[in-house]
Structure 1
Amino acid sequence: MTSGNITESEQAVLDEIEAEDVDFLRLQFTDILGTVKNVSVPARQAEKAFTDGIYFDGSSIEGFVRIQESDMRLVPDPDTFAILPWRQKEESAAARMICDVYNTSTGDPFEGDPRRVLKNALDRADEMGYEVNAAPEPEFFLFEEDEDGRATTKTGDQGGYFDLAPKDLASDVRRDIIYGLESMGFEIEASHHEVAKGQHEINFEYDDALTTADNVGTFRTVVRAIAAQHGQHATFMPKPIPRINGSGMHTHLSLFTEDGENAFHDDDDEFNLSDTAHSFLAGVLEHAPAITAIANPTVNSYKRLVPGYEAPVYVAWSDRNRSALIRKPAARVPAASRVELRSPDPSCNPYLAIAVMIHAGLDGIEQGLEAPDPVRENIYEFDEEKREEYGIDTLPANLGEAVDALEEDEAIYNALGEHIASKFVEAKRQEFEDYLVDVSDWELDRYLETF
């Protein structure tokens, strides 16, 4: 039974708030850079949040609005309600809902809301007759904290790829993270120690693209909070330690038709990929430089995107090896046919990153682009001459080049919308300029006593 203008799903949330003795609600959203923000309200305000929204000042949020147009409204999505898993037993519960952001003056969705940008991409896919599924693989490091509780880069284990305890001393932390995620509705596929010391990966089931983007933000929040309970600092920084593997967020994508068929699968194709999949793949390759600005959005991202550390830097695809930018993973059943973009890292804004991947692929379909032949050799072993022979380009080498590529790519820039695109470019140009004028410890160690 519902009351007033409350929907059935909203009423179900109100009932659960009462049943679980929830005292506070965190109404979450993200800024343009992907940082999770929240407005905390007493749980008794939940019905008002559904019917009227919750107002907040958007002028202090990165890339939102100017002070003279600062009033914004949060409208919670009841499908994202979840009890936060890190409360103590004697405490009352706290819960969160992810919100859409609206302009108070017009009542329209706010064009600077990254979640809206992804919804726009999904609307485009829907108009073309597709639903989009996505599955990310975010990696992270666990580091010890010092006596003041500040993060170090010291790892508590000596583990390697798929190692077990005693080398993988963080297995208990991963276990508690998994319990926390499952309590919030995640379906966990697997977890394991990654290649580098202190590096981990927890894989969760694919879902529709919007739910997946929501899940990435939740994942990062839960991992950090539960790691902190163990006296560990979890970081999604792409390359926290030099000369070892960095953290990626390989992202699997597939399109499904309105009748539930996988639009990427074709039994008659050598790679079991349909013409639609080949064109989608070609679109992502076409727009890869611009995507890089969004999917690899920090100066540090480009310390990971270098040859020799299993990170893809070459614009090509393969059905066999992992040196290419895009891989076609093996699929046991037609529904599992998909493509995997291997360049994104977990510092990205998941809404914007998945949105530009979708727009790039759909642009490939609309243009009828043809994918090049797959490269089955190890591209890391190619010299420049051989890469030129194969027509293999390289991703931008730094954040400045990536932002240049974004500004030059009309399709991807416009997909973000003028508000977000211009604010993002402004913020990232400033970040890169700050980096260029800084002097690193490496430079001091190398040159201070030499010259």
Structure 2
Amino acid sequence: MKSNEEIQRIQKDLEAKGVKYCIGAYVDIHGIPKGKVVPISHLPQMARGSELYTGYALDGLGQRPNDDEIASVPDLDHIIQLPWQPEVAWMPADNTFKGEPYPLNTRVALKKQLAKAASMGFGMNLGIECEIYVLKQGEDGSLSVPNPDDKLVKSCYDVRGFLDQFNWLDKVATTINALGWDLYSFDHEDANGQYEFDFKYADAITSCDRFIFFRLMAKEFAKQEGLLATCMPKPFADKTGNGAHFNMSLYDLKTGANVFACDPKEDPRGLGLTPIGYHFIAGILKHGKALCAAFAPTVNSYKRLQRQGEMAYFSWAPVFNSFGSNNRTNSIRVPMGGGRCESRNADGALNPYLAATLALAAGLEGIREGLDPGKAQEDNLYELSEAQRAERGIEFLPKTLAEAVDAFEADPFVTETLGQELRDEFVRYKRNEWEAYHRHVSAWEIERYSHLF
């Protein structure tokens, strides 16, 4: 908690920059930001938890209509002045209840897990690859690629496709760098109208905060162009989906050194990972099916996690609970040079705090128990026969949200990590989502069955 003097200094600095209002933005179970707005003169009160919320009005915060209110406390070390609305300062926030951290808040859950990592001498670094579509929305709500001439079957890295959305790309890229996130690459991704932004990794809390803000910022700048930006996992059945690959490593709290990194020549498996790194991966694989519910948390997510589907070529999306080197058919990849691992089943709809909490907890379990992830898979796993897959002991990830939620609910590790209430809230909301999906009669069903029978 900041001292009164520190809060007053921050307030004066924001006022000097033209800030008139402050948002203390926490997220619901889905990772969608929520919060109240206060005049800058009331920042000291907000910093002490003055803003109260009826939890029952929010998804996944576990309250009934007769419960006391929760409060939000802004993190004054992670303030962003909105580039498109400089009168407003954005502050990621945590919920509290009766003065204590509220356990159903996923940012609070991540902080709790980071404290457990700290007790083992570790901090967590995280980089999230941001993949996103920029699309035109019709009056009927349908989505389409803005340029009708953009019809390349393989449009990855396409320069013309990149330049099509230069105004939007420039706004996003310029803002990322102005915020100090260190954008080092961005490009036209694999699908028509799809782009990716890669900026430098940071500590887990900071990277999760940035991902939440990125989704908000990208949508705002697209709206200014008359378009819709979406991180929806699979907007089109015949095009690549939106990932949000989690690149993870642990560092030594005393020295800051990456404890996953070593010279590949010193690694018997040749991937450039220390035993700690392999133990971490093994923990994630041990709980891979349960973690999939957090990494891929929507009905639509599992239309991305297909070997090919309606695409003309392989989808790039992982369907196996496996790991390997620079092999994108595994769910866990160790990029060239090592020093980190990448969870590839993470998609653009995730709540990053929830996913990071569970991934870190699973990795720490792997370290504590000295788990071994087995042999790295270097083949194109999409092309393995079922007999070959079974012989290697490679299991599928869940194929539907229902399967993923079943695995999430059945794994005691999830309850140990999140607590019973947060685990139950996630299960309840995701089961409701699955059931609502199955009650809905889709256009595909009408087209297929209405004249057939």
Q: TM-score range by the shorter chain?
A: over 0.9
Look up the match of 1:118.
110
Look up the match of 1:100.
94
Secondary structure of the structure 2 residue equivalent to 1:69: coil
In structure 2, give the amino acid aligned to 1:74. Answer: S
Whether 1:266 and 2:256 are equivalent positions in the alignment is: no
Secondary structure of the structure 2 residue equivalent to 1:249: coil
Whether 1:210 and 2:205 are equivalent positions in the alignment is: yes
Whether 1:16 and 2:13 are equivalent positions in the alignment is: yes
Q: Give matches, 1:278-293, under 5 Å.
A: 278-293=278-293
- Are 1:144 and 1:151, in contact at CA under 8 Å, matched by a contact in 2? no
Q: Give matches, 1:212-251, under 5 Å.
A: 212-251=207-246
Distance, in Å, in 2 between the alignment partners of 1:164 and 1:151 is 28
Following superposition, the deviation at residue 20 of structure 1 comes to 1.0
Secondary structure of the structure 1 residue equivalent to 2:25: strand
Look up the match of 2:311.
none
Secondary structure of the structure 2 residue equivalent to 1:59: helix
Look up the match of 1:444.
446
Q: Which is further off, 386-395 or 62-71?
A: 62-71
Q: Aligned residues: percent identity?
A: 34
Distance, in Å, in 2 between the alignment partners of 1:7 and 1:261 is 34
Secondary structure of the structure 2 residue equivalent to 1:321: coil
Q: Give matches, 1:290-309, under 5 Å.
A: 290-308=290-308, 309=315
Q: Give matches, 1:18-417, under 5 Å.
A: 18-64=15-61, 65-87=63-85, 93-104=87-98, 107-146=99-138, 151-157=141-147, 158=150, 160-165=155-160, 168-258=163-253, 259-267=255-263, 268-269=266-267, 270-308=270-308, 309-331=315-337, 337-417=339-419
Residue in structure 2 matching 1:426, options 414, 425, 428: 428
- Are 2:284 and 2:362, in contact at CA under 8 Å, matched by a contact in 1? yes
Where in structure 1 are there 5+ consecutive unaligned residues?
none
Deviation string 1:115-135 (CA, Å, 9 cap, x unpaired) is: 001111101111111010000
In structure 2, give the amino acid aligned to 1:262. Answer: N
Distance, in Å, in 2 between the alignment partners of 1:280 and 1:177 is 34
Deviation string 1:334-393 (CA, Å, 9 cap, x unpaired) is: xx7100110010101010011111111111111111111111110011111110111100
Where in structure 2 are there 5+ consecutive unaligned residues?
309-314
Distance, in Å, in 2 between the alignment partners of 1:306 and 1:162 is 22
In structure 2, give the amino acid aligned to 1:380. Answer: Y
TM-score by length of 1: 0.93
Please tell me the root mean square deviation across aligned C-alpha atoms, in Å. Answer: 1.7
In structure 1, give the amino acid aligned to 2:422. Answer: I
Q: Which is further off, 354-363 or 68-77?
A: 68-77
How many residues align? The count is: 435
Following superposition, the deviation at residue 330 of structure 1 comes to 1.5
Distance, in Å, in 2 between the alignment partners of 1:196 and 1:242 is 11
Following superposition, the deviation at residue 166 of structure 1 comes to 5.9
Distance, in Å, in 1 between the alignment partners of 2:184 and 2:292 is 27
Secondary structure of the structure 1 residue equivalent to 2:101: coil
- Are 1:151 and 1:233, in contact at CA under 8 Å, matched by a contact in 2? no
Deviation string 1:248-282 (CA, Å, 9 cap, x unpaired) is: 11110001112222111233112221111111001
In structure 1, give the amino acid aligned to 2:298. Answer: T
- Are 1:325 and 1:343, in contact at CA under 8 Å, matched by a contact in 2? yes
- Are 1:156 and 1:170, in contact at CA under 8 Å, matched by a contact in 2? no
Following superposition, the deviation at residue 52 of structure 1 comes to 4.6
TM-score by length of 2: 0.93
Q: Which is further off, 343-352 or 183-192?
A: 183-192
Following superposition, the deviation at residue 438 of structure 1 comes to 2.2
